[in-house]
Amino acid sequence: MAVYRLLAYVLCSLLLLQTLEQELLVVNYELNQARITARYCVNKARPQLKCNGKCHLAKQLRQADDADKKAPAGSVRLKFELVPAPARLALTAPRRWPAAPARYAAPAAPRYADAPARGVFRPPLV
């Protein structure tokens, strides 16, 4: 059972990573803003723009959005290949087993008399 639980945690975390991809990019930018500004910012020469690496973040978000648009969720195509059956394959009718004769018990004798009990049932007096 522990293996199944571990597999469930891994699959749930992969699903969350895929769903929260853009949010994780923003969190990564906030945590590593100084390093991103120093390495990837294209506006280092113009500090008056106060870019601080937002250009790199915007580029990453655009790439993630384009990747989502290229492969929508419902566009998965499955390939099926029809393979002919071998020539030796012979289909036979299903085997029928003879049914055992039904044996029923003899009918039970009636427990009640044939004549209704007239003395017990009377109409109410008005």
pLDDT tens column, 50-95: 888 888 888 888 988 887 777 655 555 656 676 676 666 667 777 7
In a domain, 35, yes or no: yes
In a domain, 97, yes or no: no
In a domain, 103, yes or no: no
Enumerate residues 6+ apart whose C-beta is below 8 A from 52: 33, 37, 41
- Taking only Cα atoms into account, the Rg of the chain, rounded to an integer number of angstroms, comes to 40
CA pair distance 45, 81, nearest whole angstrom? 58
Q: For 16-45, what is the mean pLDDT?
A: 85
In a domain, 98, yes or no: no
In a domain, 96, yes or no: no
Residue-range definition of the domain harbouring residue 66:
20-70
In a domain, 101, yes or no: no
What's the predicted TM-score (pTM) here?
0.47
In a domain, 61, yes or no: yes
Give me the pLDDT at residue 56, please: 86
In a domain, 8, yes or no: no
User: What type of residue sits at position 119?
Assistant: G
CA–CA distance from 32 to each of 7, 27, 29, 52, 83 (Å)?
31, 9, 5, 11, 55
Is the pLDDT score of 9 beyond 90? yes
Count of structural domains within the chain: 1
